[in-house]
Amino acid sequence: MAGVSPIEAASMYSPRTSILVIEDDEAAAAILRELIQDRGYYATLATTSADGLKQLASGGVHDLVVIDLAIPDLERWLLLSRLRSTPATARLPIIMLMDPAEKAQEADVLAAGADDYIAKPFSPARLLARVEALIRRSVLQSINPLTGLPGNRQVEQFIAKCARETTAFWAIAYIDIDVFKPFNDNYGFLQGDEVLKTTADLITRTVTRSRHDVFIGHIGGDDFISGLTSSADRSDQSCEEDVKWVLQTLASEFDELVKGFYSDEDLARGFLQVEGRRGVIESYPLMSISIAAVTNRRRVFGHPLEISSALASVKRKAKTSAGSTVCFDLRS
């Protein structure tokens, strides 16, 4: 994505940031939620530490937590300890709101696992500035360093967002480069990296031709995710037809683009010959892509794991076909 910085790329193709507010004062919670949502973020509320932990464990993906609880110190330390010892929330940015009387405990709060604290009373601008600084840092940590695309964290967030959507259309495509490893082994990792970067650029150029809003993520290695969302009703067949056209275009353009990475000899032969570990010459086809697509046009998904499972199932089917393939989940 030439000319686009990693932070710009992540913001262009990332779903809306989700913030969990754990606040036991109803009036303060309403103010915080309004403040966060007015800034363009998605806000959810929890009124107790137990409720907050339950929401974080329920499968929804959050990008940051704001905690303001009138609870004993021990319970506060236990909450931070739980958040930092649980794999799903170990790296989740945390801001603690603290009463003036608690100023002496600032160092303890940071040592216990909070990333930042704000003493009350505070201005809305100050809170939002701290929130945005932590989100920027989190985004930079999660993007793929090779392609500059959002990484696993944001992919999970996008899938969770789709699982929550029951009325508007969405589609998710899992894009896997076939026979990449033999190419990488034979031509070297520098050429392999060029294939990955060029594929990321191709996905970006192609998918953004769609009339839908677009998310593009790089899971790692030769695996990518593309998401397309719309305000149209999920039953709108034209939305799915648009996605099919985009993905078929991606597959055909990949087949043309990838030829530029092979030697004239390999292209003329039509396959790659690689010497195996035991000195035996093995033959591999030229690289292609398998695209597994899942939409909510025929059924509603209740959990991110259901979407991931459907993608895995369709991907297995797509991988059984030779050459570049686009395969849709047609189950209802």
Local confidence pLDDT in tens for the 332 residues of the chain: 444 444 454 454 455 688 999 999 999 999 999 999 999 898 999 999 999 998 888 766 788 999 998 877 778 888 999 999 887 788 899 999 988 777 667 888 899 899 999 988 899 999 999 999 998 888 777 789 899 898 888 898 899 889 989 999 999 999 999 999 999 999 999 999 999 999 999 999 999 999 999 999 999 999 999 999 999 999 999 999 999 999 999 999 999 999 999 999 999 999 998 877 777 888 999 999 999 999 999 999 989 999 999 999 999 999 998 899 999 998 87
How many other C-beta atoms can be found within 10 angstroms of the C-beta atom of residue 264?
7
Of 142, 160, 191, the residue that ends a domain is 142
Looking at the fold, whether 188 and 70 belong to one and the same domain comes out as no
- Structural domain containing residue 101: 6-142
Residues 53 and 198 reside in one and the same domain: no
Within 63-199, strands assigned E span: 64-68, 94-98, 116-119, 168-178
- 1 is a domain residue: no
State how far Cα 25 lies from the chain centre.
32
Which residues does residue 206 pair with via DSSP β-bridges, in sequence order?
Answer: none
Same domain, 207 and 309: yes
Residue where a domain stops, chosen among 119, 142, 165:
142
Q: From start to end of 77-235, where are the E strands?
A: 94-98, 116-119, 168-178, 213-220, 223-233
Amino acid identity of 219?
I
B/e letters for 61-78, b = 16+ CB within 10 Å, e = fewer, are: bbbbbbbbbeeeeeebbe
Q: Look at the chain and report how many structural domains it folds into.
A: 2
Burial 8-45 (b: 16+ CB within 10 A, else e): ebbebbbbebbbbbbbbeeeebeebbebbeeeebbbeb
Q: Which two three-digit tokens encode residue 193?
A: 């990296």
Q: What is the pTM of this model?
A: 0.73
**Dihedral sign (CA 269, 271, 277, 281):** negative
Residues 160 and 256 in one domain: yes
**Rounded alpha-carbon distances, angstroms, from residue 59 to 95, 304, 306:** 21, 7, 11
**29 and 120 inside one domain:** yes
- In this structure, the answer to whether residues 185 and 129 fall within a common structural domain is no
Rounded distance, CA 20 to CA 129, Å?
17
